[in-house]
Amino acid sequence: MSNLQAITQQLFDLSGKVAAITGAARGIGAQTARTLASAGAAVAVLDVSASGEELAAEIVAAGGKAYFWKLDVTQEAEVQRVFAEIVARFGRLDALVNNAGIEGANVPTHQMSLEQWRAVMDVNVTGVFLCTKYAIPALQQAGGGSVVNVSSMYGLVGGPDVPAYHASKGAVRLMAKTDAMLYAAQDIRANSVHPGFIRTPLLEEAFQKLGDPELIFGQMKQMVPIGKIGDPQDIAAGILYLVSPAGRYVTGTELVIDGGYTAR
Ligand code: NAP
């Protein structure tokens, strides 16, 4: 290998590192797990859905290191147990990707029930708090690490729908900034990623309820300056940057990956 190739390889080398990814059974989380594993990390695939088992098997079959834990991020005792088991199994933890999220009820604020509001906040905000809470001691023990909160472009700008979802995505943006300040001296970095429209089961299911998903994806494309719907790999690439040596001087920032939507 030439010296020039070595530069790129070292920037994105996660050999010997361990990364935990929530909501990793499908969509952005699954592609992030594949991507971090391809950079050499052992990945803890965490999801409330048992299909995460298949993803872990796929990564292992492809020569990577992975293990699946069924985890509901809203359950504190489960989160505490699973993070202890990750460290016991892999020996350390270097990165946490807080990716699990739900869209919740699409009703205007004045028609939303408290239960609907709490359901979204529970997964999208409390889940991020709990996983970060139990990951930080392990990151401290590892001598540093990286936390990535998967927010949304709707954690930066408003939208005329899903009010609880947008509020939750604003919250995790600021949680990353606070954690960045709290743990910077221990070399633990915390950042948020802000996807635009990404083609995943989350959006496909939401559009199925509204009618023809292809028609809606077509309309959405026209709202994006780059003229395309994003792919989970576009977000996984940004997360790889933030957790790898390439991002070692980056903390408390927002990585917007939205095809230019919020640039207007
Ligand atoms: P997705 O396809 O729905 O995948 C999310 C995964 O999280 C699913 O496997 C889901 O399991 C799991 N999950 C839900 N509740 C959970 C809980 N309580 N504990 C653990 N896992 C849970 O979603 P995605 O589109 O990949 O989105 C991933 C993240 O990106 C989310 O935070 C989302 O808000 C954010 N994001 C997505 C887009 C987009 O356009 N797709 C845009 C901006 C931001 P079940 O299937 O069993 O519910």
Whole-number Å distance, alpha carbon 166 to ligand 1 midpoint, is 14
Q: CA 93, CA 84: separation in Å to the nearest integer? A: 10
Q: Is 249 a catalytic residue?
A: no
- Cα angle vertex 31, ends 173, 203, to 5°? 65
* pLDDT confidence band for 171 (50 / 70 / 90): very high
200-233: pLDDT as tens digits:
998 898 888 888 899 999 999 999 999 999 999 9
With b meaning 16 or more CB within 10 Å and e meaning fewer, what string describes 180-210? beebeeeebbbbbbbbbbbbbebbeeebeee
Ligand 1 probe mutation, 46, 47, 82, 168, most atoms within 8 A of CB: 47
The mean pLDDT value for 47-64 works out to 98
The mean pLDDT value for 51-79 works out to 98
Ligand 1 probe mutation, 200, 204, 209, 220, most atoms within 8 A of CB: 200
Say yes or no to pLDDT of 80 above 70: yes
Is 122 close to ligand 1, i.e. is its CB under 6 Å away?
Answer: no
Report the largest interatomic distance among the alpha carbons of the chain, rounded to a whole angstrom: 61
Q: CA 73, CA 52: separation in Å to the nearest integer? A: 14
CATH topology of domain 3-200+231-263: Rossmann fold (3.40.50)
Say yes or no to pLDDT of 1 above 70: no
128-139: pLDDT as tens digits:
999 999 999 999
The mean pLDDT value for 48-64 works out to 98
Is 257 close to ligand 1, i.e. is its CB under 6 Å away?
Answer: no
Percent of the chain, pLDDT > 70? 100
Atom of ligand 1 nearest to the CA of 195: 43
Q: Whose CA is nearest to atom 8 of ligand 1?
A: 23
In this predicted structure, which of 5-9, 88-92, 168-172, 207-211 has the lowest mean pLDDT? 207-211
Q: CA 16, CA 7: separation in Å to the nearest integer? A: 18
Q: Note whether 250 and 188 are within 8 A (CB).
A: no
Q: CA 109, CA 235: separation in Å to the nearest integer? A: 29
Is 71 close to ligand 1, i.e. is its CB under 6 Å away?
Answer: yes
Q: What is the pLDDT of residue 209?
A: 85
Closest CA to 137 of 175, 190, 189, 83: 83
The mean pLDDT value for 185-203 works out to 97
Type of residue numbered 199: R
Whole-number Å distance, alpha carbon 12 to ligand 1 midpoint, is 25
Q: What is the pLDDT of residue 50?
A: 97
Parse the chain into domains and list their residue ranges.
3-200+231-263
Ligand 1 probe mutation, 202, 207, 231, most atoms within 8 A of CB: 202
Is 203 close to ligand 1, i.e. is its CB under 6 Å away?
Answer: yes
Q: Is 69 helix (H, G, I), strand (E, B) or coil?
A: strand
| Catalytic option among 134, 154, 165, 183 | 165
